[in-house]
Amino acid sequence: MLAKNLLVTGASRGIGRACALLAARSGWSVGVNYREDAKAADAVVETIAKDGGRAVALKGDVAVETDAVAMFDAAAKALGPLTAVIANAGIIAPTAKLADMSAERMRHIFEVNTLGAFLTAREAARRMSKSLGGAGGSIVLMSSAAARLGSPNLYIDYAASKGAIDTLTLGLSKELGPEGVRVNAIRPGLIDTEIHASGGEPDRAPVLGATAPLGRPGSAEEIAEAAIWLISDAASYVTGALLDVAGGR
């Protein structure tokens, strides 16, 4: 039986926070990664500790290679060998058409959402692969329904950055299957978290969520349920899956 040691990137808020809290309640020891908001990350760790769980806050920018490596090293030192990683860290920018986007904006989106996920997945592969001395495990990548919808007039750069995550999932699941590592992705729809405010539309989820077939936005906790299932033994024959959790949208 694999040890239940998990790293969640971008875990100080939103979907990442919900994943960390649910994982801890499910018996996982959790590395809570954050980039800037130490107070929020510490609050997640404190909540887990109060409930009898085990967690550690880990500062690091997933888009910076040295940070990514150090984050994994610190997680393993504090918790023991990792057997699951949820690559959740991601950003958006204010809504705009492609013609109005600067190269700087696009570069930043791809550095965090795509390169950051690739670096996270690479470090997980290096540590979990059986041929490299690991015990196997599970990687969950956070994509988006935007990857298949395109987000025209809104966030085409964000949508494209998440489309790359779908491709990473499909390819890496085939690379790592023989290594005992499962790789899956979740494609959330309109989820009511703080990320929309950073894009300049704090009410976007409730307003557009009402147009989904289920008639409402989703919650971070609903995405967490899917993520923790994917890293659990209950999903032991699931790899290469792109799981839509989008209310039918």
Query: Tell me, what CATH number does 124's domain have?
Result: 3.40.50.720
Q: Is 34 a catalytic residue?
A: no
Sign for the CA dihedral angle at 22, 24, 28, 29 comes to positive
* Domain annotation covers residue 249: no
The β-bridge relationship of strands 181-188 and 137-142 is parallel
What mean pLDDT value characterizes the chain?
95
- Which residues does 132 contact at the CB level (< 8 Å), separation at least 6? 126, 179
Q: Tell me the C-alpha distance between 3 and 70, whole Å.
A: 21
Sign for the CA dihedral angle at 222, 245, 44, 205 comes to negative
* Domain annotation covers residue 31: yes
Q: Tell me the C-alpha distance between 200 and 181, whole Å.
A: 38
* Domain annotation covers residue 169: yes
- Taking only the tens place, the pLDDT of each residue in 38-94 is 999 999 999 999 999 999 999 999 999 999 999 999 999 999 999 999 999 999 999
**Given this model, what pLDDT does residue 209 score?**
75
Q: How many domains does the chain have?
A: 1
Do the beta carbons of residue 231 and residue 201 sit within 8 Å? no
Which of these is catalytic: 34, 155, 158, 237? 158
- Taking only the tens place, the pLDDT of each residue in 188-223 is 999 988 665 555 566 777 777 788 999 999 999 999
- Taking only the tens place, the pLDDT of each residue in 91-137 is 999 999 999 999 999 999 999 999 999 999 999 999 999 999 999 99
Burial of 248 (0-12, 13-18, 19+ CB in 10 A): exposed
| Domain, as residue range, for 239 | 5-244
* Domain annotation covers residue 218: yes
Do the beta carbons of residue 89 and residue 33 sit within 8 Å? yes
Neighbouring CB atoms inside 10 A of 96's CB total: 17
- Taking only the tens place, the pLDDT of each residue in 140-173 is 999 999 999 999 999 999 999 999 999 999 999 9
* Domain annotation covers residue 78: yes
Burial of 223 (0-12, 13-18, 19+ CB in 10 A): buried
The pTM for the full model equals 0.95
